[in-house]
Structure formats: structure tokens, C-alpha cells
Amino acid sequence: QLCDLGFLSFMSTESNDNTSDTTPLFQSDMIDNGLTNFTLFLNYILKHIDRLTIRAVSILQRSHELCLDLFNDSAFDMARDILITPKRLSYAREKEKNLYESLVALTNSKQNEIQKIILQAVDEMHEVLTDEACSLEIPGIELTDQLTVKHARDLKKCTSVIQEQILVRLNETIANKLLDSINVLHDNYVGTLTRCLFSLESNKDDDESELSASKALQEILHSAYEVNLSLPTNSNLFQILIDRMKELFRTFSWNNFPRIDPEFKRSVALNILNSLSEAKLAKSVCTQLNDRIRMSHDNFETLLKQLEHRHSDRLKTTEDKQQRVRKECTPKIARLLLESTSLKDLIQYGLPKQGREIGRGQYGVVYECKNWANHQSCVIKSVVPPDDRHWNDLALEFHYLR
């Protein structure tokens, strides 16, 4: 740039003179002519300083813009959080209630199907169970030569062993058949829950401020409905099923001690099978399922209330932060942005030339300006805000209208 201005001119380094070691490699008008062209050099220095200053002010201005956008986005997210969170909690409660009612209705509708399964299992196992009972060995009893028991307690033990054997075999068969029906209920159950969660998630945007609430709702729903419906034979539900079956059996009594032979065992097995009540057993299974769903529903209600309390405290803090950002931080940053922008324009374009008065505005007088900052036919508004509040309003208005 000094060469372009004529202050320096480079000379060729090639020379036939062997004494060229002392010859300078350039010529300088400033050195040759002293301070004759010092004014041009001073203008160059001033322009270079202006460029450096504009670069620094531009960086400062961009920093203020980023800061202000960050505060504005933060205030918007907090305001949205305050507005949306209560609606989401209410929506979650409503959807869970609908889910609970649909699950209860679905379980009750399975009672007839479960009853048919139990009846089918008894019919299929009827011959097998009676044959197994005939060949069943009963240990720990004393028999006479005529195969009769010596004591009444031995007769009771015989019937108990046969009864227990039939119950265990029936339990295995009914369990295997009931699993298919329960799995259908489980599929509908999980599908309804998944759709409920999807409806919750589809009503929210991917903003970080709400991820915690959404995850908490999902955890509550999953933990509240962690019901084990894939019932093994040793589950509590089937243990209760066995107990209920035992309650439904008649007490067997004979005037004389019968012979403990295969016919007696077959007779006991037939009496046990004929004493079963499929309707009562099916009702017992459905009652147990309803009890578990109701417990899960109550657990969900409790956890949701706890979540509401936590969000209530959090939203109070969020509201205070939002007011502070909106009323304190954002106006201050906007005013700094206004000052840095004004400084940049002043260095780059200078002050606009004021023309004749056109009119009077809210804060000052409007003047004519022929051109400024590469714009033609401009107007100048002389602004003198009376206090900081007006300054902040003006700075925010300037930022949003840019």
C-alpha cells in the first residue's frame, strides 16, 4: 500500500557493479524529500487505523447481536415452558384416565374367553387326568389286606394327594392356554400405552427445556404399568387360582372306608373335575388383572401429583428468570448493540449532514438528509430519550426493526 501511494519504489537487485553491497534495495520519497509528502502518509495511517477500528467494532457488534438473540430465545423458551407444562400435565392425566378405563373394559371383556379356555382345558384333560389318578401312588398311608385305610386321616390324605395332582396338571394346561389370551390383552395394552405416549410426544417440539418433563411422564407411565402379564405357572395369580379351585371342591365323605384301588382314585378324580366352576375361576383371573391395573393407576396418580409439585416450584423459578431476562438483561444488551452499531457507522460513514426540518416525531425533530451510508434521499431523526427506560425501548425497537 505504501508503494501504491508512492512512498516506496522497489529497485532491481541485479547490478553489474561489484560495489553494490552498499546500494539500498529501495528508494523512499520520505527519505529523499523529507516531510514533503507527510500529509499523504498521515492520511494513510488514519485510514488504516479506521479499518482496524471498524473490524474491532464489527466483532463487538456481532457479539452483542449473538448475546441478544440468545437472551431472546431463552426468554421465549421459558415463557413457552410456563405456558405448555401445565397443559401437558393435564393432558397426561386425561389420557391416562382414558387408558385406565379402556384397560378395565378390555380385561372384563376377556372373562368369557378365559372361561372357555378353562372349560376347554378340563375337557381335553378329563381322560388323561383320570388315568393318571388311577395309577397314582399314594405314599405314607397304611392299608389293610382288603386295600382299605385304617384311619380316617389316611382317607383324607388320599383324596388330598389326588386333588393336588389334578390341580397341578390342570394348572399347567390352563396356564399354557391362558397365556395366549393374556398375550392378546398384553398387546392391546402396550399398544394403547404406546399411542398415548406418542400423542404426548407429538404435541411438543424438540426443545431442551421440556425434555425433562417429557421423560418424567414417560418414566411414570412405564413404572406405573410395569404389570407382568406373561404369567408363569408359579406366579402369584396362579397360586391364587389354585387356592380358589380348592375352595370350590366338595368335601368327600363316606360312611365306610372304601378300597383304595384304581376305581376309587378314578371316582375321586371325576368328583374333583365335576366340581370345578369355570365361571368363578375366570372371574377370579379377571379380578386379579383389574386389581393390578387399579394399583398401577393409583401409583400413576401419586407420581403425577409429585411431578406437578416439582414443576410448580420449577415454574416459579423459571418465571422469575424470564422476567429478569426480559426486563433487565435484554434491554441492556440491546442498548450496547445500539451503541456499537452507532460507533461503527460513525467511523465508516461519518455524521450525516443535517438539512431542513421536515417534522417532529415522538422523541425529537426529523430533518432532511440528501445522502448517507450509500443511501439517497434520507431523513434524520434527532432522538433524545428522557430516561433509561426510553433508551431501552428505543434500543429494542431499533434491533427488532433492523
55-64, 158-167, 184-193: least confidently modelled range:
184-193
Above 90 in pLDDT, residue 62? yes
183-192, 313-322, 371-380: least confidently modelled range:
183-192
347 touches 75 (CB < 8 A) = no
Confidence category of residue 61, pLDDT binned at 50, 70, 90: very high
116-120, 245-249, 321-325, 398-402: least confidently modelled range:
245-249
- What span, in angstroms and rounded, lies between the C-alpha atoms of 179 and 128? 22
Query: pLDDT tens digit string along 343-364?
Result: 999 988 888 888 898 888 766 8
**DSSP-assigned letter for residue 26:** E
- Which of 96-105, 205-214, 280-289, 314-323 is most confident? 314-323
Above 70 in pLDDT, residue 13? no
* Average pLDDT, integer, range 232-236: 46
The cell 426529523 sits on which residue?
Answer: 366
Query: pLDDT tens digit string along 16-52?
Result: 444 444 444 445 555 555 556 677 778 888 888 989 9
Confidence category of residue 234, pLDDT binned at 50, 70, 90: very low
Of 223, 198, 226, whose CA–CA distance to 303 is shortest? 223
**SS3 (DSSP) at 370:** strand
Q: Residue 228's pLDDT is what?
A: 37
0.85 exceeded by pTM: no
- What span, in angstroms and rounded, lies between the C-alpha atoms of 150 and 123? 35
Residue 92 vs residues 56, 84, 86, 99, 221: alpha-carbon distances, Å: 52, 12, 10, 10, 9
DSSP 316-350: HHHHHHHHHIIIIIHHHHHHHHHHHHHHHHHHHH-
Q: Residue 155's pLDDT is what?
A: 73
186's CB contacts (< 8 A; 6+ apart) are 229, 230
Of 279, 243, 259, 292, whose CA–CA distance to 113 is shortest? 279
Of 316, 318, 338, whose CA–CA distance to 326 is shortest? 318
381's CB contacts (< 8 A; 6+ apart) are 361, 363, 364, 365, 366, 367
Above 70 in pLDDT, residue 325? yes
The cell 426480559 sits on which residue?
Answer: 326
Q: Is the dihedral of CA 311, 313, 319, 321 positive or negative?
A: negative
- Which of 171-185, 255-269, 282-296, 373-387 is most confident? 373-387
pLDDT top residue among 69 and 377: 69
Above 90 in pLDDT, residue 68? yes
* Average pLDDT, integer, range 128-143: 77
pLDDT top residue among 302 and 335: 335
DSSP 64-94: HHHHHHHHHHHHHHHHHHHHHHHHHHHHHHH
**SS3 (DSSP) at 297:** helix
Q: Residue 206's pLDDT is what?
A: 46
Above 50 in pLDDT, residue 266? yes
Percentage of the chain modeled with pLDDT above 90: 13
Q: Is the dihedral of CA 185, 188, 194, 195 positive or negative?
A: negative
Q: Residue 394's pLDDT is what?
A: 86
Above 70 in pLDDT, residue 109? yes
Above 70 in pLDDT, residue 250? no
Q: Residue 383's pLDDT is what?
A: 80
Half-sphere exposure of 401 (CA within 13 A, CB side): 7
Burial 376-401 (b: 16+ CB within 10 A, else e): eeeebeeeeeeeeeebbebbbebbee
Strands of the sheet containing 357-360, edge to edge, are: 357-360, 365-372, 375-381
Let me know how long the chain is: 402
- What span, in angstroms and rounded, lies between the C-alpha atoms of 227 and 223? 9
Q: Which three cell numbers stand for residue 89?
A: 400435565
- What span, in angstroms and rounded, lies between the C-alpha atoms of 149 and 264? 12
- What span, in angstroms and rounded, lies between the C-alpha atoms of 327 and 389? 10
The cell 457479539 sits on which residue?
Answer: 63
Q: Is the dihedral of CA 183, 188, 191, 196 positive or negative?
A: negative
Above 60 in pLDDT, residue 235? no
- What span, in angstroms and rounded, lies between the C-alpha atoms of 96 and 301? 9
Mean pLDDT computed over every residue of the chain: 73
Q: Residue 66's pLDDT is what?
A: 94
Query: pLDDT tens digit string along 177-233?
Result: 766 655 555 555 555 555 545 554 554 444 444 444 445 445 444 434 443 333 344
- Residue ranges of domains in the chain: 67-328, 352-402
118 touches 281 (CB < 8 A) = yes
The gap from C-alpha 382 to its chain's centroid, in whole angstroms, comes to 52
- What span, in angstroms and rounded, lies between the C-alpha atoms of 5 and 385? 45
Q: Residue 154's pLDDT is what?
A: 73
Percentage of the chain modeled with pLDDT above 70: 65
